[in-house]
Structure 1
Amino acid sequence: MIFLTLGTQLPFDRLVRAVDEWCHARGRDDVFGQIAEPGDAGYRPRHFDWVAHLPPADYGARFAAARLIVAHAGMGSIITAMELGKPIVLMPRRADLAEHRNDHQLATARRFADRPGIHVVPDAAALARTLDRLSDRTGPAPHAVSPFADPRLIEALRSLIRPPRG
């Protein structure tokens, strides 16, 4: 399954429409989306199953079961994908398109773009190409990262906070 997640605060019509069009063009029926409430004028996908919101346990189960994640450039989605070793395709929301209040998602995407398993796309055409390349890929998943800091970092910080007595 490919899991599309947009967070819970704002709809993201540009990404939802791009995934919906990709599903239609490729005859895909293996996409599920948690897309926030699209509102009266928002885009409602016709070619994949979706809900506005998932309870946390269901969200976690969908995320864990997915072989590929498609998301906005939200830190929750990025960190969860990294912790679970899931490849993720990010399309950042853009302020100039009234998708967000500022461009922090562009900055976030730039910061993570060089990480293994993280694929950043600027638009629908790049998303389609990336989904074509990754959607049926088999092979090793990105290496999962620990949700905890490296013990050496913790010890270095501890020594700064509590210098040795002597």
Structure 2
Amino acid sequence: MSGVFVSVGSMMPFDRLTRAMDEWAAANPHIPVEIQIGRGDYEPRHARWVRKLPLSDYQARVQACALFVAHCGMGSIISAIEAGKPILMLPRLATQGEHNTDHQLATARHVGTRPGLHVAADSDDLKARASALLADAAHDAAGAPAPISRFADPAFTARIRAFIES
């Protein structure tokens, strides 16, 4: 893909994120954008979209994109880190009916200062940061996080196994 992959997650709709990135896609027609919209009401007009993806397809899109854009969910954050991809996040807000608490604001404060994990304050900031991160990607991989494995180091698990079995 090498463009932008956007995901609202699998639990709840997030039309504010979908609409903002569809507007960004309209302003940047030379960059491929695909949005996983879940159960959202807003259907993109300028970006490719899909409601749901099997996990393997989702992971392949994260791996292939130049920039991953998502809500501030731990699944999205972990997916980005596993793939070594920069992630731009927009926290869901309880006041806008996007979640039942504002825990994603706390997540954003906690992770938003780490390399490769970027947080937008609002829809306009999201669009500006997407452009800036993609421009930076052409020069320095957008400060992507160092990729991690989904599995523990085999030597570590062998030590645990030996301890349990002794």
Q: Same fold (TM over 0.5)?
A: yes
Report the equivalent of 1:59: 58
Give the whole-Å Cα distance in 2 for the aligned partners of 1:37 and 1:29. Answer: 25
Pairing 1:127–2:122 present: no
Q: Which has the higher helix share?
A: 2
Mapped partners of 2:149, 2:59: distance in 1: 17
Superposition deviation, residue 149 in structure 1? 6.1
The match for 1:82 is 81
Equivalent residue, structure 2, for 1:102: 101
| Counterpart secondary structure, 1:115 | coil
Aligned residue for 2:117? Answer: 118
2:27 aligned residue: 25
Structure 1 vs Structure 2: percent identity of aligned residues? 48
Q: Report the alpha carbon displacement of residue 29 of structure 1 after superposing the two structures with TM.
A: 4.3
One-letter amino acid of the counterpart of residue 33, structure 2: V
2:17 aligns with one of 7, 15, 22: 15
Q: CA RMSD in A?
A: 2.4
Give, as a single letter, the amino acid of the residue that structure 2 aligns with 1:78.
I
Structure 1 residues 150, 55: CA separation in 2 closer, same or farther (over 3 Å shift)?
closer
Partner SS for 1:20: helix
Q: 1:37 to 1:28 in 2, by over 3 A?
A: farther
* Conserved 8 A contact 2:59-2:79: no
> Segments of 4+ in structure 1 off by > 4 A?
148-151
Shift of 1:44: 1.0
Distance 2:93 2:153 in 1: 34
Count of aligned pairs between the two proteins: 157
Unpaired segments ≥5 residues, structure 1:
none
Alpha-carbon separation, structure 1, partners of 2:53 and 2:90: 21
Q: Given the alignment of the two structures, is residue 73 of structure 1 paired with residue 72 of structure 2, yes or no?
A: yes
